[in-house]
Amino acid sequence: MGKVVITYGTFDLLHVGHVRLLRRLKALGDTLIVGVSTDAFNAQKGKASIYPFEERREIIKSISFVDKVIPEETWDQKASDVKEYGVDILAMGDDWAGKFDTLSSDVEIVYLPRTEGISTTDIRTVISRVEEDKLLALECAIDQVSRLAKKLR
């Protein structure tokens, strides 16, 4: 099987930063396993995804350099996954730096920098603003229709 790399994430609103990170992770070994956070686990973390787990898993599975996709259901499963899949490298984005160092006696830990200028949080913010703008435009249109209806009475 060669060198096995594993990573974890929610992978909601997939963007080029995710793809570049996964490509760099694949370059570290021969097999790339991606743990995609389940909806229940995201709820435990206080996160809500736009896309449900099954759709996020399908999207990640379709990336040619991802070899295997598994559900991420708990924080603690990383240690058992390392053993179960014969993992050589646990790799994460550098926003997690230091968080998994307790596993360093069992597996090499690598933290890679994120792609600058893009994040799921930024995309969510833009979507939220667009939705707010649509709501404001709708409220204005309703107000105009209401005023016109009063004039017609």
pLDDT in tens, the chain (153 residues): 699 999 999 988 777 888 888 999 999 999 999 999 999 999 998 888 888 999 999 999 999 999 999 999 999 999 999 999 999 999 998 888 889 999 999 999 999 887 666 666 665 565 556 556 666 666 666 767 677 667 776
- Taking a C-beta distance cutoff of 8 angstroms, is the pair 37, 9 a contact? yes
pTM: 0.76
pLDDT at 74: 95
The amino acid at 100:
F
pLDDT of residue 15: 72
pLDDT at 82: 97
29-42 burial, b if ≥16 CB within 10 A, otherwise e? bebbbbbbbbbebb
According to the model, what pLDDT value does residue 134 have?
Answer: 60
**Residues that are catalytic:** 45, 47
**pLDDT given for residue 106 in this prediction:** 92
Q: How far apart are the first and last CA of the chain?
A: 78
- 31: CB partners within 8 A, 6+ apart: 1, 2, 3, 4, 5, 67, 68
Confidence at residue 47, expressed as pLDDT on a 0 to 100 scale? 83
Q: What does the pLDDT read at residue 37?
A: 95
Residue type, 9: G
4-115 has CATH 3.40.50.720 classification: no
118: how many CB neighbours lie within 10 A of its CB? 14
